[in-house]
A and B are shown apart, each in its own frame.
Chain A
Amino acid sequence: MKTKKKLTLILYFLIPFIAVLLVKYSLRTSNDDYVSVDKKNNETTKELASVEGKMMLPDTVDFIFHVKPILSDRCFLCHGPDEGTREAGLRLDTEEGAFAAIGENLDRYAIVPGDVNKSQMVHRINAAEPEKTMPPLESNLSLTDYEKQILTKWIEQGAVWKEHWAFLPPEKKQVPKVANIEWISNDVDHFILKRLEQEGLQPSEKASKEKLLRKLYFDLTGLPPSLSQIDAFMNDDSKDAYEKIVDKLLASTAYGEHMASSWLDLSRYADTHGYQDDLERVMWPWRDWVISAFNRNLPYNDFVEWQLAGDLLPNATLEQILATGFNRNHKITQEGGVIDEEYRVEYVMDRANTTSKALMGLTMECARCHDHKYDPISQKEFYSFYSFFNKVDEKGRIDYDEIPKPNIKITPKEVKEMLSFINLPDSISEVYPMVMKDGAANRKTYVLNRGVYDAPTDEVEAGTPEVILDYKKSFPKNRLGLSKWLFDEDNPLVSRVAVNRMWQQIFGVGIVATSDDFGNQGDLPSHPNLLDYLAVTFREEGWDMKKMYKRMVMSSAYQQTSKVTPELLELDPDNKLLARSSRSKLSAEMIRDNALAVSGLLVKKVGGPSVKPYQPPGLWAETTSGQGLTKYIPDVGEGQYRRSLYTFWKRTVPPPSLMTFDAPTRDFCEVKRQKTSTPLQALAMLNDPQLIEAAEYLAQRILNQDNLSDKDRVETIFRKITTRLPAEEETNKLLAYLKSAKDSYKPIEDDIENKEIPNKETHAYTVLTSLIFNLDETIIKG
């Protein structure tokens, strides 16, 4: 009897679980995810496809949401924008093409709205004969039954066509009405809550004050709050206590440093040239400008315009020219024997790709060798865009001791007179950062066959992809004109892409999760109206970045707790709906900076030449050819303790402690970092001498304070590192650990001779602090 009951009980739990699993499996489309464990085999999909079809086919099939992702991913490769590989004359990426007559006698149609029988597409996707099936077997692409039914039903329902959302200008809609009006802090919340209410979901409660404060500090400055800052906030009961902190942080220098940090990824900034022997370059004055521009809250349109075309502005200032260093951050080779033009072409490519990815969320580089396979960008258009960046009088290969041209000379005089934001040390009398200058204004641009430097075909003029926005006659055909075009009121991409990336920074994931791809293969926005609202508002407010960040962090959506129920986790694992706050991992820079800051080691100096903190010895030496930067010689003194954005970046051997925590290599533009969890990270957290040193320093400082009990000390350390007081249970665990550390302490032999150190207390507190550094909570915000 008992056994039976047990069995029933197990079944009781198991059946819904199996049901959920079945649904989960069956509901997957083949829309690949990025996480490897998220992949699954097609067989299961096929087996269960019949279930899914019956269960989940939408009442109304929508082109943008249901149909185009399938067409783009499975059909465009042969029936898309690339004329060169288009099969059977059928093109499915334009309305005209999709409904056009096909076949030798032009008597057939792929799609006949409302008529499934006459629609060749339906026959071909369902064809039993392998030679007729679409997509063809050899493409390794296939459609699930669910996808076939979607396409069929769409045709049945009249095959309504819509243009790609991201290429239509954003529209600012009225903020939606919501029921739970008390929850609303600002307009952002209307959009978030509307969606939640439609789902029958509630937003989460507000995060604890400590958690919120910590998250805010990291999101706006990349640094943790100090104990006194925590106390001040905890004791401030005024209504605008939070807002005051927001304003204070936006006004702090650390804000600019933090924002610069991710702009450096996007700008593929580094301190070396990146190819082969990877010689040193001096671009840090440009980095200092970026920090300063953020801190001065230079409007985003100016911020970008100066970087793209500062040199072309009327009466350009030296500062505006310096800003164009943005497009000189690409790699440069000095490898003996390379063909100059081959590499010069690579640099121009890099500029075009970076500009398009960073500012427009487009993968234009796909049109280097042929028309884009997924987005309506022809190869010719790519080279027209490329042409804007093809006028620089530069060398493909530089000599070993050569400072690449064009550059500008900066001496203490320029710094004093007009570039006061540059932190030029007394020891340096001049620097020559690279800048843009169209010294080869007459250089012609040609389409390069297969993208190869020595295969020019048709000449092209500077221009932009037609599908995005016409290039007005009034715009000059140079980088300045390009900037005008980018910031034209009707440009559908630039503002959306910018606010999306800002959102990604604050909320962890963009409203468009693929912040680097707004094209046909990119994700759809989770809150399209919110994206548009923010995009238009950003422009209307004069591209005010601080104001935009403030809007985001002032929202109730931002201020929620990150606690999640199993149900919500099940329903929305990626937290697209924002019924809670995301529990995001700190960036590589934040992890190290946090340890330095809380221990008191951090040197808060802004800008200047990049620094060389500790890194494991030998990493440069073991890969060098003996030329250039052969040996990493760590700085002595403050260079050890600067914020991580100042760490010297050698591209072929990037800083290991940052790389371990998912920093990109800076070989090219990157707008989104990976967020992984690896054993190498665990090892670095446990054993990186910088973190051990920080732990020891913090431990010693706490021990130096008189009249504190172990409990006081443990609580203080914990609070410094995590911003909150430990719960009693946690304190007890930590105290128990402290005791065990003291008990097991054995002075190492060296220490016996060195009488200063044999200190049980220091040892025990150091390992305790190290333990707290290693808590999950420490590397998490929210």
Chain B
Amino acid sequence: MEEITKHFINNNRRHFLKKMGLGIGGLAAASLLDPFSSFAGNEAPNLTGLNLPHFAPKAKRVIYLFQSGGPSQLELFDYKPLLQKMRGQDLPDSVRQGQRLTGMTSGQASFPLVGSSYKFDQYGESRAWVSSLMPYTAKVVDELCFIKSMHTEAINHDPAITFFQTGSQQAGRPSIGSWMSYGLGSLNKNLPTFTVLLSRGTGRPFSQPLYSRLWGNGFLSSLHQGVQFRSGKDPVLYLKDPDGMSRSERRNMLDHISELNRKQEEEFGDPEINSRIAQYEMAYRMQTSVPETMDIDKEPEHIIQMYGADALTPGTYAANCLLARRLIEKDVRFVQLYHMGWDQHENLPKQIEKQAKDIDQATAALIMDLKQRGLLEDTLVVWGGEFGRTNYSQGLLTDTNYGRDHHPKCFTMFMAGGGVKPGFTYGETDDFGYNIAKDPVHVHDLQATIMHLMGIDHTKFTYKHQGRRFRLTDVSGHVVKDILT
């Protein structure tokens, strides 16, 4: 210990100065005055100080349309005529290969195979398979890049959705949007870098909950937490001034606060005070910019029609898709949607029709709307849930009814825009739709690919916390090069 002291003393100057790099003192003053160097900030290079992006990005922004609950790939995109032929027959052990089942079906006496009740067809020049549940999506397949061979490690909702969003099944790591906010900073000065929109499906309105940690910053600074944009009077928590307070009154108050704070800064010399003043200015700007963004009154009729009538009902998936486009137009870096209700254990046909209807038109509209505005080029759209569903029925299989349990071994996602091949399908499952036959894509691979498109080498983008360098992709993940333009 004696030596530690000695050397500390000899070297403290070096040590302290080291901390100064772009620290709170000196240089940082510049970035403190623009506190959103992470949360906002303009496109000044390297404002985050991280030397990112590592290479030229194909996408600058992301819209992640998370389908919570686990949409059935077999009803939507992964066409398996064999399952229709073998309807009612038991899943062969040779196919199952000892795969873990959830506690919900592990006790089932048989595992009767069941094919989709919905007709599949091929669409577009790309001849992509889409079922009759997704007529609008079918029309835009030439913009989409399907991954039929997604697989994950978790088999239950909480760990699986946490895994998708944070790269770990257990809570505590930052969400993908937080990583982007931290790594790339903001593209605008008036809105948060990472925004979150929630909607509830009509297929199974009350099925799986969401957890705010899914858009949490984990061990990153809370500047990078996802900011929920909610329907209603107060779209961002505490955004609205008290009743009766005008903008000029608020401005007047903020000016007085700043003046008095500056006096404190003069007296105490604490640079944090400047940072706080700047935060108040950002808050003030958000009070205008957020409601402006949320206000769809000026959207022309044909745009509303494009997204569907639901777009006029705040808090619906369609309304959120429209908002997502508006946020992207204002250069928000990462827009995360969650649509709940894709957990069809039973009564699948009835439920999934409604679920699909919720999202089909608006998803397709969002992609085409981005395209017609030239935004799809550098905006990446990601669509998918936390796992797939089994090829056998959960519960009784009848002529008109069946259900499907969670299935982590294969499912379908699609992406569009910023740097992925349009009209392309990657990966294949076997004829049973149970195992991957070709080109598996792990969750970490997908995360690595999204980061790659944003100009980030996922192996180099780390954050040191409690002595360890953490990555979104933990210790694995490969960029799926074949789907890149």
Are A and B interaction partners?
yes
Interface residues of A (CB under 8 A from B): 20-21, 23-25, 27-29, 31-43, 56, 58-60, 62, 64-66, 140, 162, 165, 168, 170-171, 173, 195, 198-199, 274-278, 331, 333, 335-340, 346, 363, 366, 373-374, 397, 514, 516-517, 519-522, 524-529, 532, 562-566, 569-574, 576-577, 583, 585, 616, 618, 622-627, 651-654, 656, 659-660, 662, 665, 667-668, 674, 676-684, 686-689, 692, 729-730, 733-734, 736-737, 740-741, 744, 746-748, 750-751, 763, 767, 770-771, 774-777
Given contacts A37-B37, A38-B49, contact A276 B19 (CB under 8 A): no
Most chain B CB neighbours (cut-off 10 Å) among A168, A198, A333, A747: A198
Interface residues of B in 262-279 (CB under 8 A from A): 263-265, 267-273, 275-277, 279
Report Cα–Cα, A585/B35, bound state, in Å: 17
Given contacts A335-B156, A574-B19, A733-B256, contact A684 B11 (CB under 8 A): no
Contact A775 B209 (CB under 8 A): no
Q: Is the interface of A mostly helix, strand, loop or mixed?
A: loop
User: Which of B22, B236, B257 touches A775 (beta carbons < 8 Å)?
Assistant: B257
Residues on B with beta carbons closer than 8 Å to the beta carbon of A195:
5, 8-9
Given contacts A36-B221, A363-B466, A775-B261, contact A623 B198 (CB under 8 A): yes
User: Which of B10, B31, B156, B238 touches A684 (beta carbons < 8 Å)?
Assistant: B238
Residues on B with beta carbons closer than 8 Å to the beta carbon of A397:
103
User: Which of A23, A66, A682, A771 touches B17 (beta carbons < 8 Å)?
Assistant: A23
Given contacts A62-B3, A198-B9, contact A683 B276 (CB under 8 A): no
Contact A277 B209 (CB under 8 A): yes
B247-255, B416-424, B437-445 - the one binding chain A: B247-255
Residues on A with beta carbons closer than 8 Å to the beta carbon of B206:
624-627
Residues on B with beta carbons closer than 8 Å to the beta carbon of A168:
1
Q: 9 A-B pairs, CB-CB below 8 angstroms?
A: A24-B17, A32-B463, A36-B48, A38-B19, A38-B23, A41-B51, A168-B1, A521-B468, A570-B26
Q: How far apart are A321's CB and chain B's nearest CB, in angstroms? A: 29
User: Which of B27, B237, B466 touches A516 (beta carbons < 8 Å)?
Assistant: B466
Contact A165 B253 (CB under 8 A): no
Q: How far apart are A199's CB and chain B's nearest CB, in angstroms? A: 7
Residues on A with beta carbons closer than 8 Å to the beta carbon of B469:
32
Contact A65 B22 (CB under 8 A): no
Question: In the complex, how many residues of chain B place their beta carbon closer than 8 angstroms to a beta carbon of chain A?
Answer: 125
Contact A564 B268 (CB under 8 A): yes
Report Cα–Cα, A624/B340, bound state, in Å: 10
Report Cα–Cα, A392/B282, bound state, in Å: 51
Closest A residue to B49 using CB positions: A39
Q: How far apart are A455's CB and chain B's nearest CB, in angstroms? A: 13
Given contacts A570-B20, A652-B212, contact A37 B14 (CB under 8 A): no
Contact A573 B23 (CB under 8 A): yes
Residues on B with beta carbons closer than 8 Å to the beta carbon of A34:
464-465
Residues on A with beta carbons closer than 8 Å to the beta carbon of B7:
58, 60, 62, 64-66
Contact A24 B26 (CB under 8 A): yes
Contact B3 A162 (CB under 8 A): yes
Contact A776 B20 (CB under 8 A): no
Contact A374 B221 (CB under 8 A): no
B140-148, B226-234, B346-354 - the one binding chain A: B226-234
Report Cα–Cα, A572/B459, bound state, in Å: 34
Report Cα–Cα, A667/B467, bound state, in Å: 20
Report Cα–Cα, A596/B155, bound state, in Å: 46
Given contacts A24-B21, A337-B102, contact A679 B264 (CB under 8 A): no
Report Cα–Cα, A20/B13, bound state, in Å: 12
User: Which of B4, B241, B271 touches A528 (beta carbons < 8 Å)?
Assistant: B4
Chain B, 37-81, contact with A by CB distance < 8 Å: what is the 0/1 string? 111000000101111000000000000000000000000000000
Contact B8 A65 (CB under 8 A): yes
Residues on B with beta carbons closer than 8 Å to the beta carbon of A651:
211
Residues on A with beta carbons closer than 8 Å to the beta carbon of B460:
140
Closest B residue to A620 using CB positions: B209
Contact B50 A28 (CB under 8 A): no
User: Which of A33, A173, A653, A684 touches B19 (beta carbons < 8 Å)?
Assistant: A33
Q: Is B406 an interface residue (CB 8 A)?
A: yes
User: Which of A366, A563, A627, A679 touches B269 (beta carbons < 8 Å)?
Assistant: A563
Chain B, 196-234, contact with A by CB distance < 8 Å: what is the 0/1 string? 001010000111111111001000111100010010101
Interface residues of B in 97-115 (CB under 8 A from A): 100, 102-105
Q: How far apart are B180's CB and chain A's nearest CB, in angstroms? A: 13
Closest A residue to B261 using CB positions: A776
Contact A573 B170 (CB under 8 A): no
A-B CB proximity, top 10 nearest: A521-B467, A626-B206, A337-B102, A41-B51, A682-B283, A652-B211, A65-B7, A679-B282, A337-B104, A667-B171
Interface residues of B in 143-169 (CB under 8 A from A): 155-158
Contact B5 A35 (CB under 8 A): no
Report Cα–Cα, A673/B200, bound state, in Å: 33
Contact B156 A677 (CB under 8 A): no
Contact B209 A625 (CB under 8 A): yes
Q: Is B24 an interface residue (CB 8 A)?
A: yes
Report Cα–Cα, A41/B46, bound state, in Å: 9
Residues on A with beta carbons closer than 8 Å to the beta carbon of B259:
733
Contact B252 A744 (CB under 8 A): yes
Closest A residue to B459 using CB positions: A140
Report Cα–Cα, A517/B104, bound state, in Å: 41
Contact B239 A676 (CB under 8 A): no
Additional 17 contacts, C-beta under 8 A, given A276-B158, A577-B12: A24-B20, A29-B18, A32-B463, A35-B221, A39-B50, A41-B50, A199-B12, A339-B103, A363-B468, A624-B209, A625-B206, A660-B222, A667-B171, A679-B39, A763-B244, A771-B253, A774-B280
Q: How far apart are B29's CB and chain A's nearest CB, in angstroms? A: 11
Report Cα–Cα, A333/B10, bound state, in Å: 52
Q: Is B25 an interface residue (CB 8 A)?
A: yes
Interface residues of B in 106-143 (CB under 8 A from A): none
Q: Is B434 an interface residue (CB 8 A)?
A: no
Most chain B CB neighbours (cut-off 10 Å) among A32, A162, A618, A678: A678
User: Which of A31, A199, A662 touches B9 (beta carbons < 8 Å)?
Assistant: A199
Report Cα–Cα, A62/B212, bound state, in Å: 46
Q: How far apart are B270's CB and chain A's nearest CB, in angstroms? A: 5
Report Cα–Cα, A179/B206, bound state, in Å: 71
Contact B171 A680 (CB under 8 A): no
Closest B residue to A43 using CB positions: B51
User: Which of A336, A346, A585 touches B170 (beta carbons < 8 Å)?
Assistant: A346
Report Cα–Cα, A28/B4, bound state, in Å: 20
Contact A733 B28 (CB under 8 A): no
Residues on A with beta carbons closer than 8 Å to the beta carbon of B155:
337
Contact B256 A737 (CB under 8 A): yes
Given contacts A337-B103, A744-B246, contact A565 B21 (CB under 8 A): no
Q: Is B36 an interface residue (CB 8 A)?
A: yes
Q: Is B96 an interface residue (CB 8 A)?
A: no
Contact B268 A562 (CB under 8 A): yes
Residues on A with beta carbons closer than 8 Å to the beta carbon of B5:
195, 527-529
User: Which of B103, B239, B269 touches A565 (beta carbons < 8 Å)?
Assistant: B269
Q: How far apart are A193's CB and chain B's nearest CB, in angstroms? A: 13
Residues on A with beta carbons closer than 8 Å to the beta carbon of B301:
none
Residues on B with beta carbons closer than 8 Å to the beta carbon of A366:
468
Q: How far apart are A377's CB and chain B's nearest CB, in angstroms? A: 12
Report Cα–Cα, A373/B252, bound state, in Å: 55
Residues on A with beta carbons closer than 8 Å to the beta carbon of B283:
679-680, 682-683, 686
Residues on A with beta carbons closer than 8 Å to the beta carbon of B17:
23-24, 27
Report Cα–Cα, A668/B170, bound state, in Å: 10
Report Cα–Cα, A517/B219, bound state, in Å: 14
Contact A64 B242 (CB under 8 A): no
Residues on A with beta carbons closer than 8 Å to the beta carbon of B466:
363, 514, 516-517, 521
Given contacts A20-B26, A679-B286, contact A522 B18 (CB under 8 A): no
Report Cα–Cα, A32/B21, bound state, in Å: 11
Report Cα–Cα, A230/B208, bound state, in Å: 53
Q: How far apart are B452's CB and chain A's nearest CB, in angstroms? A: 15
Residues on A with beta carbons closer than 8 Å to the beta carbon of B299:
none
Most chain A CB neighbours (cut-off 10 Å) among B200, B238, B252, B282: B238
